[in-house]
Every structure is written in C-alpha cells, then in structure tokens.
Amino acid sequence: MKMLTRNEAKELLNERTQEDYAGASKDAISHHYDNGIQFYKLWIGEDLYYTAAKYVDPLTDTVLREDYAEAQNAKSKFHLDAIGATSGRSLLDIGCGWGTTLKYAAGAGRFSEAMGITLSEQQGEYVKSLGLANTNVFVESYEHFNPGRTFDGILTLGALEHFAKPGMSREEKIATYRTYFSKCHEWLEKGGCLSLQCSTWNGVSREMAKRIVPSDVFPESDLAYESEVFEAAEPYFELHHYERSMTDYIKTIAYWHERLKSNRDEIVKLIGEEEYAFHERYMRRVSAGFKRRRIQLSRFVFRRR
C-alpha cells in the first residue's frame, strides 16, 4: 500500500471535525497509523505489537527475557491476568491497534466474547481480516462509542497517549481522562478490572513537555503525568497494581529500530527516503526520551469502585 504524504493524510475525509475529539482526531490518528500494514510489519514486526513489551522485573529492573516475541506475549499475558480474562468472560480492548492482544487472547482461549475499538480505518480492516471468533471491532473513538453492554474486563494499551491534546492545562487533562475512566466504569461489570499501559512524563516541567512532545510523529497527542491519571481515576477506580519501567521501552524500541535499519531498502521502496529518515529520527528521539528518564512506561491495574 502506498504511504500517504503528510498532506494527503490531513486531507482524508473525516465525518467528525477535529473539535469532536478531546484528544487526537481521526485525521490525526490516520496520519500516524494509516500508512499501510506492510510498512509497519517491516519494522515493528509481523505481529504488529505497537506498545512496550515486558522484558524486566519492574521491582529490580532485572531482565527476565531477551526474546522480543516472548516479551510481547508476556505483556499480553500480564494484562489478561490483570483483568482476570478466562474462557467464558468478555473483554473490551480500547485502542486495539492491529488486534495483537485480541489475537493472543483468542489463541489462548481467554475470552468468550471480545470487542476492540480503534480510530484507524486500516487497523479496523486488518483486525476484521484476522477473523477472530466472537470478536467485533469498531472504528470509533471511546468518546463516541456505545457498546450497549458491559464487559468483565477492559484493556487500554498505548492509547491514553492520544486522549489529550498538547496545550491542555492539568485541569483539562484530568477532566478528559476522567471521562475515559467514567466510561470504563460504566462499561465494566461490578468488581471488574481495567488494565492500562501508557507512556507518561517523568519529572519534566509542563514547559519542557510542550517543547519536546513529538507532534510531528503523533499530531494532537500529549502524554499524561501519572498524577493526572491517579486523580482522574480516583472517583471510579481503586488502584490495584502499579509498575513502571524505562527498560521495557528502551529494549522494545531497540528491536523496532534495528528492524527499521535492517529492512531499510524495502522500507525506502514503500515510503521513500525522506519518510524513512523521519522514522529513523523518531526511533532515536523516543529512545533518548526513555534513556534520559524524561518518559517512562507505566502500567496501572484499576479495580472498579
């Protein structure tokens, strides 16, 4: 599939206007994610996991596994364990990407019914093409989604990063995240759990965050501070488990970056030199963010109040 230029992506028709989204709009998501599955497979891997794998023991930072696929599966298993996903139970994956965790869960027999939502048309089509049993996927923002039912567990892996726009005040961000938590509360069965994984700012002032947020890579998107997440969740959820790691993302990015470089020729054929160089720089920038400890990977398991 042809890579969209930045302008073509912007011109993509969108039935909702940017203002209909508190966070990144459908156009903004399309700009980053709708650039052809083959392009993504060449650098993030055939499985299309696009969030940090679970390599280390978060308490000691000891590397428990070196293999990328094993670490990604460990990440999926962690989140499914966190929400008590077993056969006979239902789950909702908010920001399901290319359906990687849904696919893992289906293969492991860890749900009876599942739903996934993404704002990317290409991801939605791709997940449908996987033909996972008893799984429905919708191209819809959680902001406008109405599942018409409840679930035993909810996952959100790597999507909260898109739920608030740069330039929002702390209060605006908390209000926005609170809407997300209130919806999860409404959609969860009593006692159900929400497992949330996201990159968050670490010890970075708001002024600096404004300067270093990579809006050219992820338009209309800003990271949360952990304190914003805790405060937003408070009325609806009690914190059941929390862990953080820089190493999990540093190692994940190193894997993607190596693949990007080793598949350079094929990638350049698909997207051209300029976009290749842009993605190479993107990998270096985010890796530096984690290595300098300005960003961290946070995992929160919340139990419904």
**132 part of the interface to ligand SAM, by CB under 6 A:** no
- Chain residues 134-163 in contact with ligand SAM, contact rule CB under 6 A: 141-143, 157-159, 162
Task: Identify the DSSP state of 157.
Answer: E
Torsion angle defined by CA atoms of residues 147, 151, 157 and 158, in that order, rounded to the nearest 10 degrees:
30
Q: How far apart are CA 303 and CA 305, in angstroms?
A: 6
Tokens standing for residue 24: 């990144």
The answer to whether residues 154 and 92 touch, using CB atoms and an 8 Å cutoff, is yes
The smaller minimum CB distance to ligand SAM, of residues 118 and 245, is found at: 118
Q: Mask 246-285, x = binds ligand SAM (CB under 6 A)?
A: ----------------------------------------
Interface size with ligand SAM, residues (CB under 6 A): 25
Q: Does 9 bind ligand SAM (CB under 6 A)?
A: no
- Which residue, 49 or 187, has its beta carbon nearer to ligand SAM? 49
CA distance readout (Å), 66 to 26, 75, 272, 289: 36, 13, 32, 22
Taking Cα atoms as reference points, which of 227, 181, 180, 232 lies closest to residue 200? Answer: 227
Does 49 sit near ligand SAM (CB under 6 A)?
Answer: yes
Cα 157 from chain centre:
4
Would you mind telling me the total number of residues written for the chain in this entry?
A: 305
Distance CA 94, CA 153 (A): 11
When the beta carbons of 14 and 268 are compared against ligand SAM, the nearer one is: 14
CB 93 within 8 A of CB 137: no
For ligand SAM, the binding residues in 59-118 under the rule CB under 6 A are 94-97, 100-101, 117-118
Name the token pair of 56.
């280390």
Q: Which is nearer to ligand SAM, 107 or 205 (CB)?
A: 107
Q: Applying CB under 6 A, does 50 fall inside the site for ligand SAM?
A: yes
Nearer to ligand SAM, 33 or 302 (CB): 33
Q: Does 24 bind ligand SAM (CB under 6 A)?
A: yes
CA end-to-end span of the chain, whole Å?
Answer: 45
Kindly state whether residue 219 participates in binding ligand SAM, applying the rule CB under 6 A: no
- Least separation, in Å, of the C-beta of 273 and ligand SAM? 25
Q: DSSP string spanning 158-201? A: S-GGGSB-TT--HHHHHHHHHHHHHHHHHHEEEEEEEEEEEEEE
Q: Which residue number, 50 or 187, has a Cβ lying nearer to ligand SAM?
A: 50
123 binds ligand SAM (CB under 6 A): yes
Residues 26-45 as x/- pattern, contact with ligand SAM by CB under 6 A:
---x---x------------
> Residue 119 interacts with ligand SAM (CB under 6 A)?
yes
Which residues of the chain form contacts with ligand SAM (CB under 6 A)?
23-24, 29, 33, 49-51, 94-97, 100-101, 117-120, 123, 141-143, 157-159, 162
